[in-house]
Structure 1
Amino acid sequence: MNKGQPIGIVAGDSRPDTFVFSVNPSYIPPLYDYVYVELEEVPPGEAEPRKVKVIAQIRSIRRVGIGLSPEHPWPVLKNLSMPHGNDTIVAVAKVLGYKWKERIYYPRRAPPVGSWVYLADDRLLEDFYSVEEERRLWIGYLVSRPTVKAYLDVEGLKRHMAIIAATGAGKTWTSIVLIEELLKKGATVLVLDPHGEYVAIKKSVARLGSEYVNRVIVLKGRKDQEGDILYRVSVVDLSEDELATIAGVPSRATRIRAVIGGAKKVATQLAKLLGKPALAGLKGIRNVIGCAIDAVEIAKSQSRKLEDYTVQFLRQLGLMLGLGDKSEELKMVAADEVFQRGVRRLWLALRKDTEPGYDAIRYIEELRKIGVYGVKQIRVEEFLRPGTVTIFNLAGLRAEVQDHLVYNILTRVFMARVRYIRGLKGETYPYPVIIVMEEAHRFIPPKTVKQTRTREIATVIASEGRKFGVHLIAITQRPSRVDQDVLSQLQSQIVLRIVNPRDQDAVRDAGEQLSQDLLENLPGLNTGEAVVVGPVVPAPIMVRVRDRVLDYSGTDLVLVKEWMQSFEAEKLAKEYAIEAALKLSRILGGTFDTNNLDEALTKLIGKRVKMPTIHEALLILAREHVWASYDELNGVVTGEAGTVEVKVVLQDGLIQCSTCGQKVCAHAVAVVLRAVLDDLLSTPRTEGLWEWWYNDTTRNIED
């Protein structure tokens, strides 16, 4: 079609925001393509009307038969001789506005019926959607014009944004593209990553250029993760109820909560009065509970009075701290009113039964394994840096811990910015921060669905963050499960394919920028196609998100490939079992095969090893990187199974696993098997050298 020739004429209904036009059959534009009509308008600041080009997007297109209708019976229709193309093509266009002096305005007049409709060329669209170069974030291309780049305005992020899509529609892909662009702009970005999907950015960031290699920080949410820095929270700053909740104690377990609360109060006062901050940590709290249990047991054998219990409790504390029964330090501690309240609370919780005390220790120990909760908290400048993306890896943590860590880090970042802007004393951060929150429905659900701590600070950031330079990008596949007070304040939206009607309603209710016709078209979007509305774009725009450069680990699995890998892993595990049995036979001087491999490993380790554990260990060997080293002098095997650190003292059966503790676990067995397979445990040269490994008559194997 010749450039500048009309492709249709306004016919039928015409309004300032939409018009219907009859399409020239020689050129039928595709759905979502752009057209324009020329209109007389009085732009702001002008006294006389000006001819402007009003841009519109085709939102629906249909063919209408002439002389035919669905009511005609088939016998009549099949005998009709109708020429091909004997129909009328009707399109409905949504008015986007006209550009005047670098701003977009909506017309006040409807296009006159009979006006020519023209196809908008690429240059006109590039000018209409243009964003200043220093502010633009390249997100992709116009859906109907793959030659026209689409940009977001970084300044629009000041009023927050939501990325919404059904699972698999491309929301994480879109966020990765945004992160790439923000990195190029020198932004400080904090990614809250509940599944560890964004950690792969670290290994692929060099693709953006060598200058970006050191501009990604992986902040570990637990000590056994791979990463750069371990996040740390001060237990001292937690309330007693907060600590019990994070530890996973049910709200109805009031006695266990009382034990933890009383022990925390005692431990905090001990640290304060004795000048030993470490006593206020989780280890100190656990030790206080242990002293309380011992004191109750002793007091029960003498009397059931609080006074006798207090004496015994102080004595146990003295032994724990290396202080004498009558030391001045203990006397000072015993006279403290807060300390006395903590002691009384422990007594009331344990006097009838010490079982809540043992349960409390188990909860505290599980929390200790995470490694995040200690005495000192991490400084903001350790994990936030200008021009850097910080990925907070929350994978493998319970929901309560994830919620608390997100609440904690958001509160600290927000308050650091508040102090900087207002010139207040305390911890500050001098640069605006973009927060990318994955799985937002997990952290900020409606109050009626679930109570979370994160919702409190997220609400504050959504309403007040703009003033202090803290800007939120919330990502979710279930907008109907995100608190509407928060969602409604995310003024920009990137909406990919959505199928669920409730989620469509939630998107519509959150703001008025997404028109009904766009909502109706959301289920029909292809993967990677999105509607973008709000301050981040000059006008609503439909884009195809560009290819990403950085990696992430949340892509869909290839099922056949995964199933084949499982067969390969099982096959390799069997081969490892056969080889290990042969080598253990030489090492131990017996005869072992895959059926009694548990007996061989039990004799080797010195602690009962069960066949299911061995099978799991063999699969770890087949699927993950496992290495081992052997200290022959002390009989100690050390190594790693994946990211899990292991130490095994063979003769004594002592095991230390960074994830599983002291039990015989698959990680420990995998490391020992690696040592066997790598011939680190050599065949004995003299009789009796390995006797302690296989002489059942001289030692008792511990179950």
Structure 2
Amino acid sequence: MNMQGFDRTGGGHAGEMVASRPAPAHGRPSECAVEPIGIVLEISGAGSKIALDLNRLTECAQDADPSVAMSGQVGCQIKIRVANGWLLASVRTQKKDAKIPGGILADADFLGEGEEERLTGRIHGFRRGVTLYPIPGALVYPATSEDLRQIYASDGRSSVQIGNVYPTKDIRAGLYVDALLGKHFALLGSTGTGKSTSAALILHRICDHAPEGHIIMIDPHGEYSAAFRTNGVILDVSNLQMPYWLMNFEEHCEILLTSRGDDRQLDSEILGKCLLEARSKSRLAEQLGKITVDSPIPYLLSDLGIIINNAMGKLDKGHTSAPYLRIKNKLEELKTDPRYQFLFSGMLVGDTMTEFISKVFRLPSFGRPISIIDVSGVPSEITTTVVAVLSRLVFDYAVWSREETTRPILLVCEEAHRYVPNEKNADGSSVGRILSRIAKEGRKYGISLGLITQRPSDLAEGVLSQCGTIISMRLNNDRDQAFVRAAMPEGARGFLDSIPALRNRECIICGEGVSIPMRVSFDDLAEQRRPASADPSFTQLWNSSGGEEETVARTVQRWRAQGR
């Protein structure tokens, strides 16, 4: 393929010889950038097939501009001449084709379009989407760093900067906060790719941008406490003090019922009647009049135990005492188990719902907009229920506060695949249902959902597709890659091929939160703002000794006390 045969005006086909080139002016890009590197062969709705000149790509590879130097590579940006403007596209595939002597056949996906600056030839006024398509024979040029600087520049919307656009060193990558949070987002990445640190970086940037915000993060491993001590509130089993009576009937069943099958159905009917009676004994219930078994009305555990006992003693109950004993014994077990004290405390029951919601939801935030809910100390058998209660409170509060001034809330779930599993791994727990509902309906009520996971293919079907912005770090598993590929828009397909090859703390971002899909190198985060997620150095730790007996003794003491 001979590039000298291209029409430099971009209007003709190969073979229509026009060798003129605009004279370089001050501020113009390099020679490599003003010469075409290929020609459009075929057009479709979302992209095109182009022929790239191998000789021109070799010339461009030596250019000082890193964007020009990467011209033609998979995942890079190119621009196509259309009338008096430019169409930006991303190269998705490359292959040698015998029909194109000295050339490469490539597929490119359209990203958006912009006008041409008269003096420099650069793109300006860039906007996503395509209104004017090129025709076969249109010329293909390298996109320069100055082009990308214009394209990635903020369009005036509120944004936070999180890193640099690859392959440049100084073009900043920004996330549009309202678009990111208004339509949910997902952060994906295999273990060891820097996912936790990147999540902390994004949340820190949002907290700095909106110090009076309202963010709740479910932290299953206790990683994020160290990162947000100065600008957040850390809540764990020692200070969470979550009132048990905030649980609805379904959540009570998950904690108090141990039976399965037909026995569980019977036990749930008994618990429902007894729980409603216990709630009805409250003075608050008397003031409200009619209540349901789900109403967040305080009640005494001792009252519930007495009501179950009395129901068991009735002669007309119609069945044996076994179901009553099961519920009663489980209730007594939970009341005496020290691991459950954060939920079933022995204190007098008061109506602390307003105080609890204000504390957890950061209403007001007092300049500390994020609550880190460390559930690592919660007994594993009820962790999902605790997360369900917190998530449902977010949703219910948003629903019942519609007549008030809207206070949007961001709910972030680390290890999201544990709470919203796919059908294959689903256990029927309430947390999956409430988080799925938030994903589908939360935007109407001012709830934003942030999902962080290392196994996107284990997420419930459809949940990832509800996320308007996807931030994907390296994924090593083929199934995960395919799952993310299906959830991302077509224009990002060229970037998806680089997901397995991303370095640590690099990502592909596409969707509503960015102007166009981009590959980003995350900023470094100050030591005191990082989560405690660094991998241990076996070599270093195994070559030092001292104090092992004291360490074991202290660990055993905490172990026995079930404290942390």
Normalising by the residue count of structure 1, what TM-score does the alignment of the two structures yield?
0.60
Task: Pick the aligned partner of 2:53 from 7, 10, 22.
Answer: 22
Q: Deviations over 1:472-503 (max 9, x none)?
A: 11111111211123222112111111232222
Task: Pick the aligned partner of 1:13 from 36, 41, 63.
Answer: 41
Whether 1:34 aligns to 2:15 is: no
**Cα distance change on mapping 1:95 and 1:359 into 2, 3 Å:** closer
Which one has a bigger Cα radius of gyration? 1
Aligned counterpart, 1:439? 415
Structure 2 CA distance for aligned equivalents of residues 521 and 365 of structure 1: 54
Equivalent residues of 2:410, 2:449 under 8 A apart: yes
**Cα distance change on mapping 1:547 and 1:61 into 2, 3 Å:** farther
**Cα distance change on mapping 1:64 and 1:529 into 2, 3 Å:** farther
Measured on the aligned residues, the alpha-carbon RMSD in Å equals 4.1
Deviation at 1:395, TM superposition (A): 0.7
Q: Deviations over 1:420-457 (max 9, x none)?
A: 2235xxxxx84111111111111111244311212222
Equivalent residues of 1:14, 1:20 under 8 A apart: no
Structure 1 residue identity aligned to 2:234: V
Q: Deviations over 1:92-137 (max 9, x none)?
A: 544322135563332532354362x433232321221222455112
Task: Pick the aligned partner of 2:242 from 232, 246, 270.
Answer: 232
Structure 2 residue identity aligned to 1:459: S
State the number of aligned residues.
486
Equivalent residues of 2:183, 2:443 under 8 A apart: yes
Q: Deviations over 1:609-640 (max 9, x none)?
A: xxxxxxxxx6144x79xxxxxxxxxxxxxxxx
**Cα distance change on mapping 1:269 and 1:538 into 2, 3 Å:** closer
Aligned counterpart, 2:24? none
Aligned residue for 2:452, secondary structure, equals: strand
Equivalent residues of 2:406, 2:446 under 8 A apart: no
Deviation at 1:285, TM superposition (A): 5.2
Structure 2 residue identity aligned to 1:422: E
Aligned counterpart, 1:145? 168
Structure 2 residue identity aligned to 1:161: F
Deviation at 1:470, TM superposition (A): 0.6
Equivalent positions of 1:545-694 (< 5 A) are 545-549=522-526, 550-564=529-543, 567-570=545-548, 573=549, 619-621=552-554, 658-659=561-562
Aligned counterpart, 2:185? 161
Aligned counterpart, 2:141? 118
Structure 1 residue identity aligned to 2:221: H
Deviation at 1:392, TM superposition (A): 1.0
Aligned residue for 1:108, secondary structure, equals: coil
Structure 2 residue identity aligned to 1:193: D
Aligned residue for 2:386, secondary structure, equals: helix
Q: Deviations over 1:526-578 (max 9, x none)?
A: 2222111111111111112222232101222222234346x5443xx1xx6xx
Equivalent residues of 1:491, 1:534 under 8 A apart: yes
Structure 1 residue identity aligned to 2:340: K
Structure 2 residue identity aligned to 1:482: L
Equivalent residues of 2:245, 2:298 under 8 A apart: no
Whether 1:372 aligns to 2:305 is: no
The share of aligned pairs that are identical, in percent, is 21
Aligned residue for 1:53, secondary structure, equals: strand
Aligned residue for 1:230, secondary structure, equals: coil
Aligned counterpart, 1:541? 518
Structure 2 CA distance for aligned equivalents of residues 434 and 279 of structure 1: 27
**Cα distance change on mapping 1:248 and 1:3 into 2, 3 Å:** farther
**Cα distance change on mapping 1:168 and 1:112 into 2, 3 Å:** same
Structure 2 CA distance for aligned equivalents of residues 359 and 153 of structure 1: 49
Structure 2 residue identity aligned to 1:27: C
Task: Pick the aligned partner of 1:501 from 441, 458, 478.
Answer: 478
Equivalent residues of 2:152, 2:172 under 8 A apart: no
Equivalent residues of 2:274, 2:307 under 8 A apart: no
Unmatched runs of 5 consecutive residues or more in structure 2: 1-28, 62-68, 116-124, 287-296
Deviation at 1:519, TM superposition (A): 3.3
Larger displacement relative to structure 2 (453-462 or 345-354):
345-354
Structure 2 residue identity aligned to 1:57: S
Question: Which has the larger share of helix?
Answer: 1
Q: Which has the higher contact order (CA 8 A, sep 6+)?
A: 2
**Cα distance change on mapping 1:500 and 1:357 into 2, 3 Å:** same
Structure 1 residue identity aligned to 2:552: L
Structure 1 residue identity aligned to 2:403: R
Aligned residue for 2:199, secondary structure, equals: helix
Aligned counterpart, 2:235? 219
Aligned residue for 2:133, secondary structure, equals: coil
Aligned counterpart, 1:265? 274
Whether 1:415 aligns to 2:420 is: no
Deviation at 1:265, TM superposition (A): 2.6
Deviation at 1:21, TM superposition (A): 1.7
Aligned counterpart, 1:489? 466
Normalising by the residue count of structure 2, what TM-score does the alignment of the two structures yield?
0.74
Task: Pick the aligned partner of 1:103 from 102, 127, 132.
Answer: 127
Aligned residue for 2:532, secondary structure, equals: coil
Structure 1 CA distance for aligned equivalents of residues 416 and 188 of structure 2: 10
**Cα distance change on mapping 1:348 and 1:518 into 2, 3 Å:** same
Structure 1 CA distance for aligned equivalents of residues 76 and 511 of structure 2: 20
